[in-house]
Amino acid sequence: MRVVVAGGGITGLAAAHALARAGADVTLVERSSALGGKVSTEHVDGFTIERGPDSFLTLRPAALALCRELGLTEDVTQPLDPDRIFIWHGGRLVPMPSGTGFGIPTRFVPFLMSPLFSPREKLRAAMELAVPTRPSTGDVSIGAFLRRRFGDAVVDRLAGPLISGIYGASVDELSLDALMPRLRDAEEQHGSLVRAGLAARGTGRGSASPPLVTLRRGMGSLIDALAARLGRADVRVRTDLRCVGRAGSRYAAQLGDGTSIVADAVVLATPAPAAARALADIAPAAADALATLTYRGTAAISLAYEARQLRRPLAGHGFLVPDGALPIAACTWSSAKWPGRAPAGAVLLRATIRSDALLKRGDDDLVEVAHRAVARTMALEGAPALSRVARWEGAMPRYTVGHLDRLVRIGAALLPFPGIVLAGAAYRGTGVPDCIAQGQAAAMRILEREGVAV
């Protein structure tokens, strides 16, 4: 069985690994010069710098299970204490109230004591217990759902920055049904999200965000381990999949290096626009539906300083910024969040910029913007000793309202082509575990279709 996997990011690598392990003849093509996509780590001058995701959730088991399979269990690393997160508010960093899951208050005393909110805003949030349940009448934004229950202040200052920081888009455009359907379920079951959170805590499940872990040598070590397990797979970098056509009952994959491969199946683990271009001839309806999935850009600016440049030591994992309050959206205190990220006597920070206007500027400008923002919030003195800019232009999929309906249309358009499988961050989860699970599911679907025992 011959399979072409387009896209050498974590999704495509997970698919190629599962297929190769089952004995398939795999050709993996990646447009850039290296595998891994956004999962990329740089080691320089004693710093471990993540260009993309710096961790993964253990609540979703695919990433942790893959680490065990690849022999990386001993490299799995817990975050450092204290695990506090701050919010930039009123010109200072204010601790996020404890017992806050996805920005939803589930402990009364910490929320009532928080200086993030006025007494009137706290009273409005407390009224969530009495807000009536609204029957489901279709998808809505997460922001609209939470504003109805808690009011604007909780969304603008707490839930919005946190959720937007995870999913890379405004909470007022993100799809509730695609990203957080459990909130609707909790409302229907308990009549209140606060009561649902309290019930979860009472059963021992807890209401805090699921624990995060990383890898001791950086997330890039997961890519290295996967690539090393591909065995006899034909791996081609600086090559993309230009188009897919029919070849009898099989598929002809036209590659950017001028070659054509006749395959039994094709996994499209690329961003949706690249998948749309590849399918434009064979499945124009699917290509049109894929074109409705939208993206936005982001940049991660890593800044290294000597510890003495900070007036006070870092005590937490970083801070989030309400929309428009600063030119950065968040800052991770990498060396205080994870062990081994900076040499002794140094600190490593990572600021996130999502402003379309700022992303048009050069790297030096982005470094200056990020440095000024963190210097303002953290009383930093002097310039960074080292900086790195990782740009991801048009690389963050936006699960806007109606996302699941769009996926249904894409799936229906691909029904006549059972050997073409889509997988990746654009569809059913943007996190590392989600992408791994989608790659593995794509491989399983192909293997089952071809009658290969797994």
Cα-based distances in Å from 390 to 52, 53, 303, 359: 8, 11, 12, 11
Mean pLDDT throughout 133-146?
Answer: 92
Amino acid at position 102, single letter: F
Give the β-pairing of 346-353 and 330-332: antiparallel
CB 78 within 8 A of CB 312: no
Q: How confident is the model at residue 433 (pLDDT cuts 50, 70, 90)?
A: very high
Return the pLDDT at 454: 67
Give this prediction's pTM.
0.94
Q: How confident is the model at residue 452 (pLDDT cuts 50, 70, 90)?
A: confident
Return the pLDDT at 198: 82
Q: Choose the weakest-confidence range: 45-49, 152-156, 204-208.
A: 204-208
Average pLDDT along the chain = 94
Return the pLDDT at 204: 53
Return the pLDDT at 453: 67
Mean pLDDT throughout 91-112?
Answer: 86
- State which H helix or E strand residue 368 sits in: helix 363-378
Return the pLDDT at 106: 77
Return the pLDDT at 210: 46
Return the pLDDT at 207: 40
pLDDT tens track for 400-418: 999 999 999 999 999 999 9
Judge whether residue 163 has pLDDT over 80.
Answer: yes
Mean pLDDT throughout 40-58?
Answer: 97
Judge whether residue 297 has pLDDT over 70.
Answer: yes
Give the β-pairing of 41-44 and 318-320: unpaired
Give the β-pairing of 265-268 and 420-422: parallel
Q: How confident is the model at residue 450 (pLDDT cuts 50, 70, 90)?
A: confident
Amino acid at position 441, single letter: A
pLDDT tens track for 13-37: 999 999 999 999 999 999 999 999 9
Q: Choose the weakest-confidence range: 135-139, 240-244, 266-270, 367-371.
A: 135-139
Distance CA 316, CA 281 (A): 52
Residues 6+ apart with CB under 8 A from 109: none
Return the pLDDT at 208: 45
pLDDT tens track for 242-286: 999 999 999 999 999 999 999 999 999 999 999 999 999 999 999
C-beta neighbour count of 92 within 10 angstroms: 10
The percentage of the chain sitting over the pLDDT mark of 90, rounded to a whole number, equals 86
pLDDT tens track for 201-241: 766 554 444 489 999 999 999 999 999 999 899 999 999 99
Distance CA 53, CA 43 (A): 15
Cα-based distances in Å from 416 to 189, 217, 245, 268, 286: 39, 44, 13, 16, 11
CB 374 within 8 A of CB 349: yes
Return the pLDDT at 209: 41
Return the pLDDT at 203: 60
Distance CA 426, CA 413 (A): 17
- State which H helix or E strand residue 353 sits in: strand 346-353
